[in-house]
Structures are given as structure tokens and as C-alpha cells.
């Protein structure tokens, strides 16, 4: 794949776009796509995104009433467009349950006379239960291995971890630091026989304390499967992070008895996929589907960052969610030979849950889905470039599909394709972090369109006002154009032989 570069020495974004689309490209575009492509309008995308990612939607957290409100809003837009419902009982909604496991708020931690509030004074990661009563010992910063911590609850000062973690944008640097430091010092002390560990936050970990507590208290999430009953988790030596301000009191309490009672609770509650179709026009091909994929959820209302606690998720993934509405308008006006299936996956941010569920319980047979075109974050970064993940080995699973996507790019948006993010060596591992993945693993030809990460990713700053709507419009045209080509091509994209992901 050769990156496409504009060769003009200087031009504005607009004139670049015009120059890149020489008259022959325009003629070619008009020959290839129906006039309905003009229904992809910047004004619609902007209006819809300000609604879907506005504060009133409260960040659409998976499994919450906020995700449900946003889902009903999307379903209502699909109904107004005239998309046919494909969910449960003639509705647009495909229901499934999240299984959540967490350490409950009734858990208690005491050191000597002090009782520490779980999630306010101390925090942890993981969900393993614990029932401990033992003497405490001050273990310094953990490096003096002559201190006997065996059978005791070790209290120690957190220090930086020996090896820095791989740099990714998942959570803040302070959060990653805190987790990594907790893990290495906690592991060192439990290996020496400590039955529990309380680590006093240093100044960096203290910045992340609210984040560690907030994320830790949420616990873990997966798709509930009644066929596989829960297995009780084994007790484990807990590793707690204590607020920095408690340091002196905890150090002076060393020697006293500590009790740590961590109660695990596990329960289910619903999330939802939103599903609809525009039937194809060709009697022989209409049972085959091009699946346009987004996720409607984001991170909800969390801890305060600079005075804002609503994690709007405008780019992630409000952008693709409104793009699918625009694409549905175009397909509704002029359907293709194959059918177009629109799937909004619930609870993507909780671990690709909705897409995993839909791959296991597809509304049409998986074998009839000829391609999955997933978008995640379409509206930021440089206006003239974008990434197409799944376009080069080992992530590519259909060279045929990639060729159609590159052709559509030439005929619509003319982006320079950023190939770095699709490489197995890229530290973000971006290919593995969105809803096309479960489909690709199930051998459905799949691509992931993205304008990549940015500094507002997974923060309350990912707001509708920060989106480049001209770029979002072009990304939407590209997604539509790819889908149109796939939906009309004589033979469906073939799966590459020997497709195998590196993890
Ligand atoms: Zn996303």
C-alpha cells in the first residue's frame, strides 16, 4: 500500500481537497456512486453528534440507563430514516446481559484503631475476595529483604517500578504508573510471604488515586452466559493503595493488627445492541449483508478532570454512530444489490462485549455477512490522513476487501493512508481495540476505519465542539463508498488464506 500524498506545494485544506479531486475523479465518482451519496451531509452529522454526545446523554456508559437512553435515541433515528428493525420482537434492540463482578462497598479494612473506607481511603485492582486478620509490619520501600513480612500485612511506601511499562494511551500516565508500581511492589512482598499489602501512594500515584478507585470499584465485565455458571474466585493476598495523606498514620500504626475483609459480589444487568437493515435489490444477493459497525456507549460519568465529570465520547464513538445514520439515509434512498446491516454494539468500552455477543448470536447467519466495516473515532487529527486497520498482514484478512476500500478512498475522500497504526509493532495495539475484532477472529472479512487517538481520548474533553466535521463527512463518505462497492460487487470479498493474528 502506497501512502497517497498531495504533491501541491501549498494549498488550503479546501483547495487541496478540490485539487485532489481532479475532474476525472469526479466523473468516475458520479459513475460509481448513486446521487444518494449527497445525503451524507456535514450539517446532519454535526446536529446528530451534538445530540448524541451532549451532556444530556451523560457519557452513555455501557449497561447503564444512560446507554439505554442513547440507544433509544439511535433506534428512533433509524425508524425515522426507514431502516427495518432487526432486533428482538420486531424492535431495533437486541438485548443481552453484562455479568459484572466487583469488590462490594461493604468490604472493610482496619489497621489498629483506624478503619479505612474502601474506595475512599484505599483502592485496589482485581476482584478476588479476602478474609485476613494479621499483624502489620512496616516494610519501608520494600527493598530491605531482611524485614520479615511472612504471615503479616506489609505496609510499605510505594516506589517507582523497576521497568517502565509500554507507552500506550490507555488511561493517564499516572494511572499506568500507579498500577505498574502496585503490581511490582505488591508481587515482591507477597512472594516474601505477606498475606496482605498496603502501599502508601507516592506523589505520582496520588494523582491517579481517584482513577484507581473509580476503575477498581467498577470491577470486571463480561457477557453473561447462563450456560457457564460462575466459579468462585480463590482468595488472594490483596494489594491495596492507600491515600498519600494517610502515610504517617499508617506507618506509625505498624505492628498493630489489621483486618482486611473483601467481599466479592457478582450480578447481571442488561446492555443492548441496536440493529437494522436496508434490504438489497438483487434477489440473488440480498441475503448477503455488508455490516456497518459502531458502538454507542462511552465511559459515562466518572471522576472530575478540570471541572468536568462527563466523559462525552464525541469522537469515541459518537462520530461513527452518527456516520451510520448518514449512511443509512443514503442506502435507504438508493439501496444496493446486497443488503446493508447497521449494528451499534453496546458496552464496547467494557471490553468489546456487544460485538462478542453479536458474533455468538448474529441477527443474520455469520456466513451471510460478506464484510464488516467498523469505524471508531473518525473526526480528529490531520484533515488529510486516516488509518485503515486490517489493511496489511498480519491484520489483513481479505485483500479483496482492502482493494475495494482503497478504491473507495480514491473516489471519495482521497485520504493519505496512515499505515503505522496497523503494524504489529505499533505500541498502541490499536487493531485489537474495537468491534471488528470478534468478527475478524470469526473469519468474517473486516476493516477498521479510524482517525486514530489524540490527547482528549478517554477524557471528559472528548466533546462535540472538538470534532473536525469536514473530516468526519469525508470519513463517512469513504465508509459509505466502501460499503457501496462491496454491496454491488459480483463476487463477495474472499478471506485471505492463512489469516492469523499475532495475538
Ligand atoms: Zn471506541
CB 30 within 8 A of CB 299: no
What is the 462 CA–ligand 1 centroid distance (Å)? 11
Q: Please tell me the distance between residue 327's alpha carbon and the centre of ligand 1 in angstroms.
A: 19
Q: Which residues have beta carbons under 5 A from ligand 1 (an ion)? A: 316-317, 376
Distance in Å, CA 291 to ligand 1 centroid: 17
Say what the alpha-carbon torsion angle 78, 81, 86, 90 is, to the nearest 10 degrees. Answer: 90
Give, for all 503 residues of the chain, the pLDDT tens digit: 333 333 333 333 443 444 455 667 888 888 999 999 999 999 999 999 999 999 999 999 999 999 999 999 999 999 999 999 999 999 999 999 999 999 998 899 999 999 999 999 999 999 999 999 999 999 999 999 999 999 999 999 999 998 766 666 667 889 999 999 999 999 999 999 999 999 999 999 999 999 999 999 999 999 999 888 777 788 889 999 999 999 999 999 999 999 999 999 999 999 999 999 999 999 999 999 999 999 999 999 988 888 999 999 999 999 999 999 999 999 999 999 999 999 999 999 999 999 999 999 999 999 999 999 999 999 999 999 999 999 999 999 999 999 999 999 999 999 999 999 999 999 999 999 999 999 999 999 999 999 999 999 999 999 999 999 999 999 999 999 999 999 999 999 999 999 999 99
Q: What angle do CA 256, 260, 262 make, to 5 degrees?
A: 175
Distance of CA 484 from the midpoint of ligand 1 (Å):
24
Label residue 337 exposed, middle or buried (CB < 10 Å: 0-12, 13-18, 19+). Answer: middle
Coil, strand or helix: which one is 336? coil
CA of 349 to the centre of ligand 1 (A): 7
Q: How far apart are CA 451 and CA 449, in angstroms?
A: 7
What's the 323 CA to ligand 1 centre distance in angstroms?
14
Over residues 402-450, the pLDDT tens digits come to: 999 999 999 999 999 999 999 999 999 999 999 999 999 999 999 999 9
User: Separation of 433 CA from ligand 1 center, angstroms?
Assistant: 8
**CA gap 438, 95 in Å, rounded:** 18
Q: Tell me how far the alpha carbon of residue 437 lies from the centroid of ligand 1, in angstroms.
A: 12
Total H helices, total E strands in the chain: 13, 20
- Ligand 1 centroid – CA 311 distance (Å): 12
Q: How far is the CA of 242 from the centre of ligand 1 (A)?
A: 32
Q: 388 C-alpha vs ligand 1 centroid, how far in Å?
A: 15
Q: How many whole angstroms from 400 Cα to the centroid of ligand 1? A: 26
Of the candidates 111, 134, 284, 306, the one whose C-alpha atom is nearest the C-alpha of residue 199 is 111
Residues 6+ apart with CB under 8 A from 162: 184
Cα of 60 vs centre of ligand 1, distance in Å, is 12
Interacting residues of 87 by C-beta distance below 8 A, sequence separation 6+: 93, 94, 95, 273, 274, 275, 276, 363
User: In whole angstroms, what is the distance from residue 190 CA to residue 25 CA?
Assistant: 65
Ligand 1 centroid – CA 376 distance (Å): 5
Measure 300 CA to ligand 1 centroid, in angstroms. 13
| Cα–Cα distance for residue pair 41/75, rounded to 1 Å | 20
Using the mean position of ligand 1's atoms as its centre, give its distance from the Cα of residue 334 in Å.
29
Tell how far the Cα of 298 is from the centroid of ligand 1, in angstroms.
7
Which of 328, 325, 320, 344 has its CA nearest to residue 279? 328
Q: How far is the CA of 428 from the centre of ligand 1 (A)?
A: 14
Structure letter (DSSP) for residue 450 = E
455 CA distance to ligand 1 centroid (A)?
14
Which domains, from first to last, does the chain contain?
13-97+270-488 (3.40.630.10), 105-262 (3.50.30.30)
Pairing state of beta strands 446-450 and 369-375? parallel
Query: What's the gap in Å between 479 CA and the centre of ligand 1?
Result: 16
62 vs 45: CA distance, rounded Å: 23
Please report which helix (H) or strand (E) contains residue 81, including its range: helix 65-81
Instruction: Please tell me the distance between residue 389's alpha carbon and the centre of ligand 1 in angstroms.
Output: 14
**How much distance in Å is there from the Cα of 294 to the middle of ligand 1?**
8
Beta bridge partners of 220: 101
**Could you give the 3-state DSSP secondary structure of residue 217?**
helix
Amino acid at each position: 500500500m502506497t501512502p497517497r500524498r498531495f504533491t501541491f506545494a501549498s494549498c488550503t485544506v479546501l483547495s487541496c481537497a478540490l485539487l485532489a479531486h481532479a475532474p476525472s475523479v469526479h466523473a468516475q465518482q458520479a459513475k460509481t456512486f448513486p446521487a444518494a451519496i449527497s445525503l451524507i451531509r456535514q450539517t446532519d452529522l454535526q446536529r446528530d453528534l451534538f445530540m448524541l454526545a451532549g451532556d444530556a446523554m451523560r457519557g452513555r456508559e455501557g449497561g447503564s440507563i444512560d446507554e439505554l437512553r442513547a440507544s433509544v435515541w439511535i433506534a428512533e433515528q433509524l425508524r425515522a430514516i426507514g431502516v427495518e428493525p432487526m432486533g428482538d420482537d420486531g424492535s431495533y434492540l437486541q438485548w443481552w446481559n453484562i455479568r459484572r463482578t466487583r469488590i462490594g462497598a461493604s468490604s472493610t479494612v482496619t489497621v489498629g484503631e483506624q478503619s479505612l473506607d474502601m474506595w475512599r481511603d484505599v483502592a485496589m485492582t482485581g476482584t478476588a475476595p479476602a478474609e485476613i486478620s494479621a499483624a502489620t509490619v512496616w516494610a519501608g520501600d520494600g527493598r530491605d529483604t531482611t524485614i520479615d513480612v511472612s504471615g503479616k500485612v506489609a505496609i510499605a511506601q510505594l516506589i517507582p517500578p523497576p521497568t517502565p511499562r509500554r507507552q500506550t494511551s490507555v488511561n493517564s500516565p499516572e494511572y499506568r504508573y500507579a498500577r505498574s508500581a502496585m503490581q511490582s511492589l505488591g508481587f515482591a512482598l507477597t512472594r516474601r510471604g505477606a498475606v496482605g499489602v498496603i502501599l502508601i501512594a507516592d506523589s505520582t500515584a496520588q494523582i491517579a488515586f481517584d482513577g484507581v478507585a473509580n476503575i477498581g470499584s467498577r470491577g470486571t465485565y463480561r457477557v453473561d452466559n447462563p450456560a457457564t455458571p460462575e466459579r468462585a474466585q480463590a482468595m488472594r493476598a490483596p494489594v491495596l493503595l492507600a491515600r498519600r495523606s494517610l502515610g504517617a498514620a499508617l506507618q506509625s500504626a505498624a505492628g498493630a493488627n489489621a483486618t482486611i475483609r473483601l467481599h466479592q459480589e457478582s450480578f447481571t444487568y442488561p446492555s443492548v445492541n441496536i440493529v437494522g437493515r436496508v434490504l438489497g435489490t438483487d434477489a440473488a444477493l440480498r441475503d448477503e449483508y455488508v455490516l456497518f459497525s459502531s458502538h454507542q456507549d462511552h465511559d459515562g460519568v466518572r471522576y472530575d478532570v478540570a471541572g468536568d465529570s462527563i466523559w462525552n465520547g464525541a469522537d469515541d464513538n459518537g462520530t461513527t454512530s452518527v456516520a451510520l445514520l448518514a449512511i443509512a439515509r443514503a442506502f435507504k434512498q438508493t439501496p444496493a444489490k446486497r443488503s446493508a446491516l447497521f449494528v451499534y454494539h453496546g458496552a464496547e468500552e467494557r471490553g468489546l462485549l456487544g460485538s462478542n455477543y453479536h458474533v455468538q448470536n448474529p441477527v443474520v447467519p455469520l456466513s451471510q455477512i460478506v464484510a464488516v466495516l467498523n469505524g471508531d473515532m473518525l473526526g480528529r487529527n490531520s484533515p488529510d490522513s486516516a488509518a485503515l486497520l486490517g489493511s496489511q498482514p498480519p491484520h489483513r484478512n481479505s485483500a479483496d476487501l482492502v482493494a475495494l476500500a482503497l478504491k473507495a478512498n480514491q473516489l471519495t475522500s482521497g485520504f493519505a493512508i496512515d499505515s503505522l497504526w496497523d503494524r504489529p509493532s505499533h505500541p498502541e495495539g490499536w487493531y485489537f481495540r474495537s468491534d471488528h475484532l470478534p468478527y475478524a477472529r470469526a473469519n468474517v472479512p473486516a476493516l477498521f476505519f479510524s482517525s486514530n487517538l489524540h490527547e482528549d481520548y478517554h477524557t471528559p474533553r472528548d466533546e462535540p465542539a472538538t470534532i473536525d466535521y469536514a473530516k468526519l463527512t469525508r470519513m463517512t463518505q469513504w465508509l459509505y463508498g466502501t460499503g457501496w462497492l462491496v454491496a454491488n460487487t459480483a463476487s463477495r470479498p474472499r478471506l485471505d488464506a492463512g489469516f492469523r493474528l499475532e495475538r
